[in-house]
């Protein structure tokens, strides 16, 4: 079960030992830990993991298990044409209304 007490206690001891630096409400790695991480030796190119040998089996491919050819895709459905936009009629001005009444 998680208890916040253990996390806070670990952070406090890390700050005391110099492993962490407290910045406002958060923590960063201390200078000693940053330098140690930079000095860590990287693997040389010759030390890469050896590849597993390839299997040279004589298995035959079962019929119907191959993927469909790329050219047999369904044609895309045609897109609907957009209806032209109709502008809304502007409301008549008061001067026009008064002229229409006379």
Percentage of the chain lying above the pLDDT 90 cut: 7
Q: What pLDDT was estimated at residue 6?
A: 92
Domain ranges of the chain: 1-39
Mean pLDDT for the stretch of residues 6-25: 90
The mean per-residue pLDDT over the stretch 56-69 comes to 60
Decide which of 52 and 24 is more confident: 24
Are residues 19 and 32 in contact, defined by beta-carbon separation less than 8 angstroms?
yes
Q: Share the mean pLDDT of the chain.
A: 75
pLDDT of 13: 92
Taking alpha carbons only, the member of 49, 2, 53, 11 closest to residue 30 is 11
Q: Which residues pair with 28 in a beta bridge?
A: 21
Residue 64 falls in which region: left (phi positive, over 0), alpha (psi -120 to 50) or beta: left
Question: Average pLDDT of 95-100?
Answer: 66
For 28-50, the pLDDT digits (tens) are 888 877 777 777 666 655 566 66
The verdict on pTM exceeding 0.85 is no
Considering only the C-alpha atoms of the chain, give the largest distance between any 2 of them, rounded to a whole number of Å. Answer: 100
């Amino acid at each position: 079960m998680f208890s916040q007490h253990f996390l806070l206690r670990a952070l406090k001891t890390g700050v005391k030992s110099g492993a962490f630096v407290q910045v406002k409400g958060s923590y960063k790695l201390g200078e000693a830990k940053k330098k140690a991480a930079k000095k860590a030796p990287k693997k040389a190119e010759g030390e890469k993991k050896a590849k597993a040998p390839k299997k040279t089996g004589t298995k035959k491919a079962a019929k119907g298990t191959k993927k469909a050819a790329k050219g047999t895709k369904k044609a895309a459905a045609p897109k609907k044409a957009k209806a032209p936009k109709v502008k809304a009629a502007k409301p008549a001005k008061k001067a026009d209304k008064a002229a229409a009444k006379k």
